[in-house]
A and B are shown apart, each in its own frame.
Chain A
Amino acid sequence: MAPDTNVPALEVHDLTVAFDRKPVLWNIDLVIPQGKIVGIIGPNGAGKSTLIKAVMGILPLSSGYTKLFDLPLNDVRGRISYVPQRESVDWDFPASVMDVVLMGRYSKLGLFKRPRKADRDAALDCLRKVGMEAFANRQISQLSGGQQQRTFLARALAQQADVYFMDEPFAGVDAATEKTIITLLRTMAQSGKTVIVVHHDLQSVTNYFDWVIMLNTRLIASGPTQETFTQDNLQETYGGKLTLLADVGDLIRRESFPQREKKL
């Protein structure tokens, strides 16, 4: 299946996401073209991880919808991949690096089928791309932070997806790993993959990303880095919260208000 490269990789329409009824993302609207490395930036609690989780259907939406390649999520699940935050799993889990990377093949395998030789080869190939082939049989509890991140990345690669969502892949990794990852992302983008990255280090934004999404509960801006990553937008993204918006959010939770009234 050769994807039409003109269709946007991701389209988010009027998306609102709430925790315990309180909106943490309000009315997000954006369109991301294919083949870009996209950074999502914003202060703590701005809803960066929430945005990608909502797009992938891990969190329920209060309103709005998302489309990938102009199709609803369930039709394109096989084409999206996810790299969760490193701390989100228990690294004491009894599994080897190979076990984790093979998980990337699960969605292609389907129910009840076990990984075959070809899947192992593919997994090993992905490990090679992140410079971890020597660690294939290492237990994950013995990995360093950077190696854990590379393992997760290899798992995502093994999925052979078209869009990759990554939650803070650069957080707490060594310089070598950071370099490996960014080189890899560039190669992926060149072959037409779209990579959407939650990121918190402002220094590297212009260096790493073709496109930025600036977020603080609401969308401040989304566009090519050159035009979008401006002092004004930064000021607005990090320059304090809209207190009225926060108050209204609290009110919705306190009053147990229905998010959207039922359509009659």
Chain B
Amino acid sequence: MNDFYIILTASLVASSCALLGCFLILRRMAMVGDAISHAVLPGIVLAFLFSGSRDSVTMLLGAGLIGVFTTFLIEFFHKKAKLQTDAAIGVTFTWLFAVGVVLISIFAGKVDLDQDCVLYGEIAYVPLDLIISPSGTNLGPKAIYVMGIVLVLIIVFIVAGYKELFLTTFDPAYASAIGISTSLWHYLLMSAVSVTTVSSFESVGAILVVALLIAPAATAYLLTDNFKWMLVLACAAGILASLSGYYLAVWLDGSIAGAIAALSGIIFALAMVFSPTHGLFFKKLRQVAH
């Protein structure tokens, strides 16, 4: 049962990340996603301090705000201080991450987070944190409920705003010509990324979140030219990585998060070589045939 709980949690995280990742990579904002996933750390620590627990709505909101603040800060450094974008991203997220780590050491006694967990989470402990109903029935791990709700929210967001997200991603100039606010949808998307990052943070850590944001979406991008299929395939790639990653970690007795990240990379590599449409192998084959 524990196996199932862990794989289910990982799959829920992977699906949320993969859906948002498709928009991020098509908007060439993969590294902004990376930055947000690191920068929410101080938000998590502070929200933890104020609310005293790690599963409150305060935490989601607080850290979500920090994520939006990060994007705002990157744009501020780029536009107002005229710092080149790549440097603006690098300076901002390393600073916020450092602040987060220092906050953890300052409040070491009060915050139940440690440095390693920040990087690669502790998904193995998911089955330990159960919800027990008043009558004493075991309702399953809390993380599953949290991630399930986040996934539903993300799906609702994407379905409701599908047209606008699609258009502002493909052709922002045309979008603003017909009166759709590109910056509104930009910030909405970034908020969604922040919320997903924060809620997945403790189970999978900062790095795995990045891997799941980017790798499955990139894999799907090599497999299809249809955006809706890309969303579906990205989720599938993420779930496959979760499943295979879990068993690899069990077999090697290592970090589950690390193994899932590693496998998401291997799945990408397979798609890169063997994708029927864009794979290097079939491209080569077609070249030879000609």
Contacts and interface: CB of A to CB of B under 8 A. Distances in A.
B171 A89 contact: yes
B174 A96 contact: no
17 contacts: A74-B179, A80-B177, A82-B174, A82-B178, A84-B174, A84-B177, A88-B171, A89-B170, A93-B227, A94-B226, A95-B225, A95-B227, A99-B227, A106-B163, A106-B164, A107-B180, A141-B225
A114 B173 contact: no
A114 B162 contact: yes
A1 interface: no
A80 B177 CA distance: 8
Given A111-B164, A114-B162, A139 B170 contact: no
Contact of B177 (A82, A109, A140): A82
A176 interface: no
A94 B161 CA distance: 18
A107 B221 contact: no
A94 B178 contact: no
Interface stretch (A53-61, A181-189, A205-213, A233-241): A53-61
Interface residues of A, number: 35
Most buried by A among B164, B178, B180: B178
Given A90-B26, A103-B170, A142-B225, 15 more contacts: A58-B177, A89-B171, A93-B26, A94-B224, A94-B227, A95-B225, A95-B226, A96-B226, A99-B227, A103-B167, A106-B163, A106-B164, A106-B178, A107-B180, A112-B160
Contact size range, B:
20 to 34
Nearest to A159: B178
B25 to A, nearest CB: 11
A219 B164 CA distance: 36
Contacts of B179: 74, 77, 107
Contact of B173 (A58, A103, A139): A58
A153 to B, nearest CB: 13
A84 B227 contact: no
B173 A88 contact: yes
A99 B167 CA distance: 10
Contacts of B180: 106-107
Contacts of B169: 93
Interface string A7-50: 00000000000000000000000000000000000000000000
B230 interface: yes
B225 A139 contact: yes
A94 B230 CA distance: 8
Q: Considering the complex of A and B, which 7 residue pairs feature the smallest CB-CB distances, nearest first?
A: A139-B225, A82-B177, A107-B178, A77-B179, A94-B227, A56-B177, A89-B171
A103 B225 contact: no
Q: What does DSSP make chain B's interface, helix, strand, loop or mixed?
A: helix
Given A80-B177, A139-B225, A95 B163 contact: no
Contacts of A103: 163, 166-167, 170-171, 174
A77 B178 CA distance: 6
Nearest to A167: B173
A53 to B, nearest CB: 7
Contacts of A57: 176-177
A81 B171 CA distance: 14
Contacts of A53: 173
Contacts of B163: 103, 106, 109, 113-115
Contacts of A141: 225
A93 B173 contact: no
B170 A82 contact: no
Nearest to A156: B174
Contacts of A165: 177
A89 B168 CA distance: 11
Interface in B204-234: 221, 224-227, 229-230
Contacts of B174: 82, 84, 103, 155
Most buried by B among A95, A100, A140: A95
A198 to B, nearest CB: 13
Contacts of B161: 111-112
Contacts of A111: 161, 164
Contacts of B224: 94
A103 B170 CA distance: 10
A123 to B, nearest CB: 13
Contacts of B167: 103, 106
Contacts of B160: 112
Contacts of B164: 106, 111
Nearest to A111: B164
B130 to A, nearest CB: 38
B63 to A, nearest CB: 27
Nearest to A102: B163
